[in-house]
Structures are given as structure tokens and as C-alpha cells.
Chain A
Amino acid sequence: MRNIIALIRRELGAYFISPMAYIILTALLAVSGFLFYFSMLRYSQQRLPASMTEVQQYLVFLMTLISPLITMRLIAEEKNRGTIETMMTAPVSEWQFVFAKFAASMLFVCYLLLPTVFYAAFVAAYGTLDVKGMLTGYLGVFLTLGAVISIGLLISSMASNQITAGVVTLIVACTLMMISAFSPILRPGASQFLGMVKDVMNYVGILNHVEEFSKGVIDTRPLVYLLSVMFGGLFLTVRVVESRRWR
């Protein structure tokens, strides 16, 4: 356990040593701030009750775009620099190594998301905030990013350098986001098969789920999906790191 804490601390430190963390944070806050403003503007013009739903969807979108920057170096860099050799000959197991990386990047995600809680404070100050919806919405954001980060970690463990890892992760992340956006192309009722494809696309896409969550509903379907992607990704990453043993 002490091992894992040390690993997480080193990993988090690595984020903040480079200016990357601050650039990401600034960019994220700037863009999400604008989106929050426009979202609130629209609600007030249309005389709708203010909610965090839209903002949290934007957050998932933005964070998923940023996620390759968070995950690409995690394992690819260790392989490139050879530090994986010093790590894997120290009394550290593969799962400790992988879990620490995942935990550190999730903590970093929390750090990035933390300032957006101010948006909720604004909503609460000038309207009525659905506290439960806000909390479950953040849970949704967090789970979705857990799945995305886990995929990014897996790709980073397979790539030999971080640029490849970053590009591939970006492609995969964008696909996962767009897949549900394209589903309206398929008209329902055209055929049963197409209807099924549409359902699958909506289920696999990662942008829709957070909407459910931010309405205060914790549906088991997205929960199962996101958790299984997350744990599946971690499991496979551990296997990839272990694979040096039988190669």
C-alpha cells in the first residue's frame, strides 16, 4: 500500500513539474467558462430552470479531448526511457504500477474538474440548483473519464512512444464521442437491425450517459458499461505490462 502511495505521488508530481498541467487547466477553464455562460444565457432566454446538465456534458466532451495529453506519457514514456526496468525490478507488482498510474491520472482529472464546482455555486446563487443531480452528474463525468483514461492507459502501454499513444488515444476517444452523435442518421423503424445498431451506438457512445446521470438518475446500464470499460482497460494494461515476461 505504501508502495502505491509513493507511486501515485511521483506520478502526480510528474504532471505538475511540466507546465502542461497549468496550460491544460487554463484552457479547460477558459473554454468551459464560455460554454457555461452560453448555456446559462440560453436557459434564461428560454425561461428554463438552470441546471448543470449541459455544462457537465461539455465537460465530458472537453476532458475526453484533453485525455490523450493526460494518459499518453504514462507507460509509453517509461518504456522509452527504460525506467520501466528499474520499476519492474523493484518490489513493485504490475498491478500496483498500473493502478498507481490510473489513480494519479484520475486525481489529476479531479484537480481539473474541481474549479468547475464554482459553476454550480453560481447556479445555486442565481437560481435553484438540483444538488442531487449535480452530484450524480459529476459522478457520471468521473466514471466516463475513468473509462476514457483507462483506454488511454492501455494504449500508452502498447505504444512505444508517447506521440503514437497520444494520437491513437485521440482517435479512439473521438470515435467514442462521435459514435452516438451519428446515431440519428439511422432512422428508427427503417429496419429492426438498424434499430439495434442505433441502440448499440447510443450505448457505446460516451457523451449520452452523463445526461442521464445529471438528471439525478443512476441507471445501471451506463454504470455497467463505464465500469466494465474502466476495469477491462486496467486489466488489459496489467496484462500488457506483464507480457514482457513471456515474450
Chain B
Amino acid sequence: MDPRTAPVLPQEKVRRMIDVRDLTKVYPGVLAVDRISFRVEKGEVIGFLGPNGAGKSTTMRILTCLFPPTTGTVSVGGFDVLRDSMKVRRMIGYLPENNPLYTEMRVEEYLLFRAQIKQAPRADRTRIVGSAMEKCGLAERRTTIIDQLSKGFRQRVGMADAILNEPEIIILDEPTIGLDPNQVRTVRELIRELGQRRTVILSTHILSEVERTCGRVLIINRGRLVADGTPSQIINKFTLTGRVRLELRGTGEGVKEIIERLPNVKRVAWMNKGELQDYLVEPANAADLRSELFKCAAQHSWDLVELGHERVSLEDAFVEVTAGPGSSSGVRRDTPRVEHPEPVKVPETGGKG
């Protein structure tokens, strides 16, 4: 990743913003996080995925110095979360999972308080708060009591707090939970904008969101890191079955049999869509069947409409990596499995991709 044109900071030399090594967190009787290691470079936007109770929030809470790891080392911006906790906290803007706020305060009053707590210079405080409110679309609600705000606006207040004082690292735990599609889009825009200059880590259940906003994805399941890479890398790694989709015009008599007779073809699924015929061809030993199928189509002068690899989404990959041994791969589970329930309150959510 290229060096960003961010304002020069003392930590400018540190390109590696987050360095997690063998992080383990044990709650009484529960292994919440199990020897996770990953690194985050400056300017990356990381999507943190996993079923409920997988250890996402725990990891984020350790990064934000809420509590220390049981074993392992975590350093943020070159500072250890245990030894230099205060320095780490100054670098991080954090939006916790259920967006806790002092609801009796007014929006601007709350943000000014937070700016003060975060030791923003007195002279800049109003400007900092003003720009955070501007970015989060709160300018018109500055004097509203937070209690009277809608959920979407409250979420914006939490976001504004997280970006106050321009922290180097922004950690957002399910920032779009409970928001309507328009609000989700606004938040996504904001994250993308933040990601141009800052390091952002966000956790979410909405996979399409990750595909659109995150340059890199970490999937964590039952406390273990099971995937780390760009969305497309992960999709390829975990779902590359090499299945080819072939679409032909016509009645499709006998086509299935001809394809089945081709070398390296394991299975063919035929879907009759009336005028168009869809074939899903599964290769044996991971062979690339595309050119073979094209030649075959030309040879039999089939009316070829479309030919290509089956398109898979991050959701398929997610299900693939996080599905337990009992569930068959590729089958979408509607209820996330909770093997290691977190001892902290996790609100029930309907947010799935």
C-alpha cells in the first residue's frame, strides 16, 4: 500500500499500525480468542468477520485497551497495549458494539466533553467537534438531547465520537447495526472516506458491506483466525471449485450428456429456463474447463450465450470457513452458531448478508 498523504505525526515512521501476536483471551471457563496473529499496515481498511461469539468484540476490546490479553502481545502504533495503554488510547477512536452514549446530554455538549476527555487542544476543540458533526451529518442536531435522537442519528453521534480528534486508528464494532439501507450507505461512504487517510477496523455481519469497503478481510471463527486476505483472495481460496456456468439458447436436448462425456468433467447440473438453458459444470481435479467447453460448443454449434466461472460471493466464503463440521459446506445457515458464547451482552441482531 502506498504511503498516504496524512499529516505528519510522530509515529509517521511506524507503518505497521497494529501488530497482534499469539493473542489469547480466556474468560473464566471460556476460551474467547485463541492464538490470533495479524498485522495491519497504515491506511488499511480491515473487515473483521465472524459469527456471533467468535471473538471479534473481544479482540477489538483488547486493541482498544479495555482489558489486556491473557497471553500474547498486542502493539498499536508501536506502543504496547499493556505498558503504554494511555498512548494507545490517544491514537484510537472506538465505537463500541451497542454504541453507548450519555443520553441525557446534547449532541454538541457530549462531543465537546469527549473531545476534552481525549485531550484535544482547547483552542481546536470547537473546530474538531464541528468538523466531526459535519462529517457525520449532525450539524442540524447539535442541540438535540441524544435521548430524543433516532437510532440512526445516535449511531452518527457514536461515529462522530470515534473520529473526534482525528485518531490514527478507527475501530468500529458493528457500525451499521440496526440502520436502514440509506443510513448504511452513508456510514459506508464515511468509512471509505476515513480509509483514505486512516487505518480502519470494522466488524460487521453485512458481508456485502465488507466487499465494498474493505481492502482486507479477517475471518475469525471460535476464537481462531481462519482467513486473512483481500475479499477476492478469500473468495478464491475457500470457494474456488472451478465450477463453470454455461448458458445456451435452445431446447438443450442431449447437451448434458455430451458435456458429461468430456474429459475432466465430474458432474453437470442442468437448469431449464425455457428459452435459455443453464449448465453448471463441476470439474474433476480442479481443471479449468472453460476453453474445453467453448470448443465443444463451437464443435456442436450450440448457441452460446454465456460462459464463465460461477460467481461466488464473500458470503459463500464466509459460510464455507465458519461452518462447523456438522453443516455441509455451501449451505447457507440462517442462524449463526454460537459455540463460545461471550460473557458480555451481545444484542440480538438480524443483520446478516
Pair B65/A89 contact, Cβ less than 8 Å: yes
Tell me whether chain A's interface is mostly helix, strand or loop, or mixed: helix
- Contact of B113 with A83 in the complex, beta carbons under 8 Å: no
Chain A residues, CB < 8 A from B89: 89-91
Which 3 residue pairs across A and B have the least CB separation, nearest first? A82-B100, A6-B116, A89-B64
Q: Quick check: B117 and A90 within 8 Å, CB to CB?
A: yes
A221 at interface (Cβ–Cβ under 8 A)?
no
Min CB distance, A159 to chain B, in Å?
Answer: 16
Task: Determine the residue in chain A with the shortest Cβ distance to B102.
Answer: A83
Q: What are 10 A-B pairs at a CB distance below 8 A?
A: A2-B119, A7-B117, A10-B105, A17-B105, A81-B102, A84-B100, A86-B101, A86-B114, A244-B66, A245-B67
For A83, the chain B residues whose CB sits under 8 A away are 100-102
Contacts A13-B105, A88-B66 known; A81 to B100 CB distance under 8 Å?
yes
**A90, B27: Cβ atoms under 8 Å?**
no
Residues 211-240 (chain B) with a chain A CB within 8 angstroms: none
Residues of chain A lying within 8 A (CB to CB) of residue B61: 85, 89
Asked if A92 lies at the interface with its beta carbon under 8 angstroms from chain B, I say: yes
Q: Does A93 contact B (CB under 8 A)?
A: yes
C-alpha gap A7/B89 in the complex (Å): 17
**A85 engages B119 (CB within 8 Å):** no
- Confirm or deny: A41 has a beta carbon within 8 angstroms of a beta carbon on chain B: no
Contact A93 B100 (CB under 8 A): no
A86/B118 contact (C-beta < 8 A), A10-B113, A17-B104, A93-B86 known: no
* A187 adjacent to chain B (CB < 8 Å): no
| Minimal Cβ-Cβ distance residue in B for A14 | B104
Closest A residue to B68 by beta carbon equals: A245
Whether, in the assembled complex, B7 has its beta carbon less than 8 Å from a beta carbon of chain A, the answer is no
Judge whether A18 is part of the interface by a CB distance below 8 angstroms: yes
Docked Cα-Cα span, A84 to B345, in Å, equals 14
* Nearest B residue to A91, CB-CB: B89
A2: B residues at CB distance < 8 A: 116, 119, 122
In the bound complex, do residue B94 and residue A89 qualify as a contact, i.e. CB atoms below 8 Å apart? Answer: yes
The reply to whether A86 and B100 contact each other, CB–CB distance below 8 Å, is: yes
- A178 CB to nearest chain B CB (Å): 35
Give the interface of A toward B (CB within 8 A).
2-3, 6-7, 9-10, 13-14, 17-18, 81-93, 244-245, 247
B66/A91 in contact, CB under 8 A: no
B92 at the interface (CB under 8 A from A): yes
Q: Taking each of A14, A91, A244, which has the highest tally of chain B beta carbons within 10 Å of its own beta carbon?
A: A91
Residues of B within 8 A of A10 (CB): 102, 105, 113
Within 8 A of A (CB), among B88-120: 89-90, 92, 94, 96, 98, 100-105, 113-114, 116-119
- A17: chain B residues at CB < 8 Å are 104-105
Are the C-beta atoms of A244 and B104 separated by less than 8 Å?
no
Contacts known (A85-B96, A91-B90); A14 close to B102, Cβ less than 8 A: yes
User: Is B34 located at the chain interface by the 8 A CB criterion?
Assistant: no
CA distance A93 to B101 in the complex (A): 19
Taking CB as reference atom, which chain A residue is nearest B113? A10
Q: Which residues of A contact B315 (CB under 8 A)?
A: none
B92 touches A89 (CB 8 A): yes
Contacts A14-B104, A85-B66, A247-B27 known; 17 new A-B pairs at CB < 8 A: A2-B116, A3-B116, A17-B105, A18-B104, A81-B100, A83-B100, A84-B100, A86-B96, A87-B117, A89-B64, A90-B114, A90-B118, A91-B89, A93-B86, A245-B67, A247-B28, A247-B67
Q: Which residues of B contact A18 (CB under 8 A)?
A: 104
Partner of B86, one of A87, A91, A244: A91
Select from chain B the residue with minimum beta-carbon distance to A87: B117
Q: How far, in whole Å, are A206 and B68 apart by their CA atoms in the complex?
A: 40
- A244 in complex: contacting residue of B67, B90, B117, CB < 8 Å: B67
> For residue B92, which residues in chain A have a CB less than 8 angstroms away from its CB?
89
Q: Any chain A CB within 8 A of the CB of B168?
A: no
A17 and B89 alpha carbons, distance in the complex (Å): 29
CB distance from B184 to the nearest CB of A (A): 22
Residues of A within 8 A of B122 (CB): 2
Name the residue in A84, A86, A245 with the highest tally of chain B Cβ atoms < 10 Å from its Cβ.
A86
Could you tell me if B66 and A89 are in contact, using CB atoms closer than 8 angstroms?
yes
CA of A93 to CA of B100, assembled, Å: 19
- Taking the nearest CB of chain B, how far is it from the CB of A242, in angstroms? 10
A81 to B105, CA, bound (A): 14
Whole-angstrom CA separation of A6 from B102 in the bound complex: 14
